[in-house]
Structure 1
Amino acid sequence: MRCYWDGEDVWFYFEVDAEGWVTRQVELQGLERTPIAAASLDEWQQAHEAGHLDEYDSRFGITAEPPVSEWEGHAPERMTSEEFEEVWGPARRQIASRAR
């Protein structure tokens, strides 16, 4: 799913599991749709367990909480998993290639 927040000119793309928890999230900002986040819940949890959470957050961002079913005032558009992957792959590569 995806939604646009015009206050910050950001497109948010979400992959969610069966219970509505965000498992991966991409944030693209501005006319150029510059990737500012491409976070994975699994990776975030691994970074937390390894004591590298600050490094992960500053580089890739975090996923949204609570589950989508509890969001108020948002009406995200549905998208296919293929459409999400088309956004995830390039955004993730661009963020990962940036100097730390």
Structure 2
Amino acid sequence: MTRWFRSYGAEEDIWFYVEADADGWVTRQVELQGPFEKPIAAASLVEWEAARRAGTVADHETTFGATAEVCVRERDAHDPQDLTGGEFETVWRTARAACRARARARSPHGA
């Protein structure tokens, strides 16, 4: 069963929003940093694997970041707070849009 949760990393001042599969592997991850919760990553493992096969990992990670590529356990997360799938999706969509906008702003063509 898919699980969604968030945890806070005080050292980095980052909220980690995580979607994990039934085996505990991170499938999607959002990172929001600072007091304004600026999206700094909205990564999908499936997309990252496709980018790896296509030889475009660097571009993909520049735009969306990367997932933790680990199996998460209760002890691995900092005081995890369960989320609903809908709560995760709302954060996911907002963070993805911000990552895309930031990538367009970096592009010399604004595309």
User: When the two structures are superposed, what TM-score results if normalisation uses the length of structure 1?
Assistant: 0.92
- For 1:94, the aligned partner's letter is A
CA distance in 2, matches of 1:27, 1:68: 15
Structure 2: gaps (5+ residues): 107-111
Choose 1 or 2 for highest CA Rg: 2
1:93 Cα offset (Å): 0.5
Q: Does residue 86 in structure 1 map to residue 108 in structure 2? A: no
Q: Does residue 14 in structure 1 map to residue 18 in structure 2? A: yes
Change in Cα spacing, 1:90 to 1:6, as seen in structure 2 (3 Å) is: same
Identity, in percent, stands at: 53
Q: CA RMSD in A?
A: 1.5
Matches within 5 A, 1:1-100: 1-69=5-73, 72=76, 74-98=78-102, 99-100=105-106
Structure 1: gaps (5+ residues): none
Aligned residues between the structures? 100
CA distance in 2, matches of 1:47, 1:96: 16
User: When the two structures are superposed, what TM-score results if normalisation uses the length of structure 2?
Assistant: 0.83
